[in-house]
């Protein structure tokens, strides 16, 4: 557990906070004893020296408390930073398949759960401090009157029992509140990512606002009210029990035990001092409840903080350039997680790719082309069947296999920094040459490997994504409908110049396309329908249909 590792790593600061908390508790106890002495002895005891002693103890309480809070603030900042680093590392290591199905939940974790978990560590020294105060106060009150302490202890036990019962009751509501907030985050994402569509369609905008966001916020509001009402009731109940116990102590002390007024007064002052630590311990349930709900949520979405976080090893360009010659899918099927019917989205498929070939994958929308590409890159795990490299099952060696691939997905993302396969920044001169060859030299500038502009047209953004592929220079290049948003000139340039050049360099190229006029450029054309391979045209068949832009069809 990261919290345990954090405490061990920062044990000096944690120990300092505990020592200062103990010192603060001792000073508070001494201040209480001094106040009680003055109250018991009356005006003659209140001399200048007594006032200085009281002021000294008060300053000691202030100083130790302030230093303890400074250390806690330092621990809090360090913990939040470490939690964010660990969660971002977990996020990077998380399989794409998991992220694709719970993206909004995982994004919310990086924002909300970190803020909820951090107080768990910060509250620990404060809990220790207040528990120590309770123990010291109890010892002091026992020296004043053990019978009255027994009465007070009965009331405190009732408070603790009620708090524990309420905590068990609220646990499920904490989890429900976390899930409700997660749904709110998901709908807020609609506002940012779908802003253009909402601006054009006021009916959809009203639907999102009134049918989605408003009910989600309403459910979160109801659960929040329930949770905080329960916590507030717990705090109010605790305060009422403390005051009731003081009332009973005074009554029993006079009416039953016939104790002197000085004894009862000293006990009452001590009991009122005790109410502060008890109230804090009870109120800490709020932070603990929210924090533990976030921990459970992280575990549910696959970002469990347990276990060690391995530092990312530097990549080596040569690792992706091994001697493989054949890649094959054998009896592979795939079903999307969350499909209650478990329907097969792709397969069974048997196919192979030979190193250095240019393969086109064609088919209608929903035929499984992009899913097939993700399976080939091992970003998805087959439901049945296996991926073979030179006849050997891939098994767990996924990272090495993935380093063979570079390309442009249909839903690609652009990073501003241009890096090679080893993660090194490409030289500005090399990037400028690539920008010029892609027709973007006048639109995009580069400085220290960072592109100046990413807000371009879809076709131009795809060219920038292609630039990233050239920078990585992997064995296998893939393109998911890359040419669909290019003008006629650049589309022809892509098929007639860029793809043949990659093949001439010994690259393996897999392209999803609908441009049948260029099928003659491929070594093979694989056609999918309803998730299955329905035809495969080898080079000798394609040669009957030369790559002539004037030709617009190939028997499908």
376-389: pLDDT as tens digits: 999 888 989 999 99
Parallel, antiparallel or unpaired: strands 508-512 and 346-354: unpaired
3-state class (DSSP) for residue 456: coil
What is the rounded radius of gyration, in angstroms, for the C-alpha atoms of the chain? 34
Average pLDDT value for residue range 289-294: 73
The mean of the pLDDT values for the chain is 81
Q: 238, 163 in Cβ contact below 8 A?
A: yes
pLDDT of residue 313: 46
User: How many other C-beta atoms are found inside a 10 Å radius of the C-beta of residue 311?
Assistant: 7
Pairwise CA distance, residues 147 & 187, whole Å: 59
Give the list of residues 6+ apart from residue 246 with CB closer than 8 angstroms, or none: 268, 271, 272
Question: Is residue 115 very low, low, confident or very high in pLDDT (cuts 50, 70, 90)?
Answer: low
CA angle centred on 549, ends 546 and 554, rounded to 5°: 55
pLDDT beyond 60 at 151: yes
pLDDT of residue 466: 93
pLDDT of residue 552: 37
pLDDT beyond 80 at 301: no
How far, in Å, are 112, 178, 343 from residue 23 at the CA level?
34, 38, 65
How far, in Å, are 40, 156, 248, 296 from residue 256 at the CA level?
21, 21, 11, 51
Q: 328, 305 in Cβ contact below 8 A?
A: no
Element (H, E) at 241: helix 214-255
Average pLDDT value for residue range 229-235: 79
Parallel, antiparallel or unpaired: strands 532-537 and 524-529: antiparallel
Pairwise CA distance, residues 263 & 144, whole Å: 7
Burial label for 301, CB within 10 Å (0-12, 13-18, 19+), is buried
Q: 236, 282 in Cβ contact below 8 A?
A: no
Pairwise CA distance, residues 191 & 197, whole Å: 10
pLDDT beyond 70 at 546: no
Question: Is residue 320 very low, low, confident or very high in pLDDT (cuts 50, 70, 90)?
Answer: very low
Pairwise CA distance, residues 278 & 156, whole Å: 8
DSSP code for 262: H
187-229: pLDDT as tens digits: 887 887 787 678 878 888 889 889 999 999 999 999 988 888 8
Domains of the chain: 2-301 (1.20.1560.10), 318-404+474-542 (3.40.50.300)
Pairwise CA distance, residues 15 & 20, whole Å: 8
**Which of 140-144, 299-303, 398-402 is predicted with the least confidence, judged by mean pLDDT?**
299-303
460-513: pLDDT as tens digits: 999 999 999 999 999 999 999 999 888 899 999 999 999 999 999 999 999 999
pLDDT beyond 90 at 235: no
168-178: pLDDT as tens digits: 788 788 888 87
HEC-encoded secondary structure of 317-369: HHHHCCCCCEEEEEEEEECCCCCCCCCCCEEEEEEEEECCCEEEEEECCCCCH
């Amino acid at each position: 557990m990261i919290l345990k590792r954090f405490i061990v790593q920062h044990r000096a600061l944690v120990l300092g906070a505990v020592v200062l908390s103990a010192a603060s508790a001792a000073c508070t106890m001494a201040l209480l004893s001094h106040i009680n002495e003055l109250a018991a002895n009356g005006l003659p005891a209140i001399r200048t020296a007594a006032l200085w002693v009281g002021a000294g103890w008060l300053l000691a309480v202030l100083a130790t408390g302030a230093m303890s809070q400074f250390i806690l603030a330092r621990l809090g900042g360090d913990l939040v930073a470490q939690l964010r680093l660990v969660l971002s590392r977990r996020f990077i290591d998380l399989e794409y398949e998991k992220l694709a199905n719970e993206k909004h939940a995982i994004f919310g974790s990086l924002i909300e759960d970190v803020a909820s978990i951090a107080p768990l560590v910060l509250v620990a020294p404060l809990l220790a401090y207040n528990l120590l105060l309770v123990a010291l106060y109890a010892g002091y009150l026992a020296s004043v009157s053990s019978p009255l302490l027994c009465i007070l202890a009965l009331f405190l036990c009732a408070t603790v029992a009620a708090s524990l019962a309420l905590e068990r009751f609220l646990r499920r509501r904490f989890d429900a509140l976390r899930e409700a907030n997660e749904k709110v985050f998901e709908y807020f994402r609609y506002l940012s990512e779908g802003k253009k569509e909402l601006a054009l369609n006021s009916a959809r905008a009203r639907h999102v606002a009134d049918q989605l966001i408003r009910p989600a916020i309403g459910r979160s509001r109801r659960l929040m009210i329930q949770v905080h009402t329960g916590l507030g009731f717990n705090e109010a109940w605790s305060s009422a029990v403390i005051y009731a116990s003081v009332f009973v102590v005074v009554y029993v002390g006079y009416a039953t035990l016939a104790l002197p007024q000085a004894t009862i007064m000293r006990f009452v002052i001590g009991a009122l001092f005790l109410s502060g630590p008890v109230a804090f311990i009870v109120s800490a349930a709020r932070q603990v409840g929210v924090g533990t709900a976030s921990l459970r949520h992280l575990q549910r979405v696959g970002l469990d903080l347990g276990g060690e976080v391995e530092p990312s090893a530097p990549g080596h360009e040569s690792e992706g350039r091994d001697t493989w010659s054949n890649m094959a899918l054998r009896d592979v099927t795939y079903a999307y997680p969350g499909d209650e019917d478990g329907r097969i989205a792709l397969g069974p498929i048997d196919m192979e790719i030979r190193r250095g070939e240019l393969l086109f994958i064609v088919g209608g929308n929903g035929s499984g082309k992009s899913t097939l590409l993700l399976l080939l890159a091992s970003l998805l795990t087959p439901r049945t069947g296996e991926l073979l490299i030179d006849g050997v099952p891939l098994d767990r060696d996924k990272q090495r296999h993935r380093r063979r691939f570079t390309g442009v997905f249909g839903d690609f993302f652009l990073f501003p920094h241009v890096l090679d396969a080893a993660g090194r920044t490409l030289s500005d001169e090399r990037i400028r040459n690539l920008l010029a060859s892609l027709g973007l030299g006048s639109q995009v500038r580069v400085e220290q490997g960072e592109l100046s502009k990413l807000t371009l047209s879809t076709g131009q953004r795809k060219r920038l994504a292609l630039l990233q592929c050239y920078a990585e220079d992997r064995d296998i290049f893939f393109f998911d409908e890359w040419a669909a948003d290019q003008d006629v000139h650049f589309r022809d340039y892509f098929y007639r110049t860029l793809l043949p050049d990659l093949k001439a360099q010994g690259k393996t190229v897999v392209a999803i396309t609908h441009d049948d006029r260029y099928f003659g450029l491929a070594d093979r054309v694989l056609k999918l329908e309803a998730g299955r391979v329905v035809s495969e045209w080898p080079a000798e068949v394609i040669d009957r249909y030369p790559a002539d832009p004037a030709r617009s069809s190939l028997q499908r």
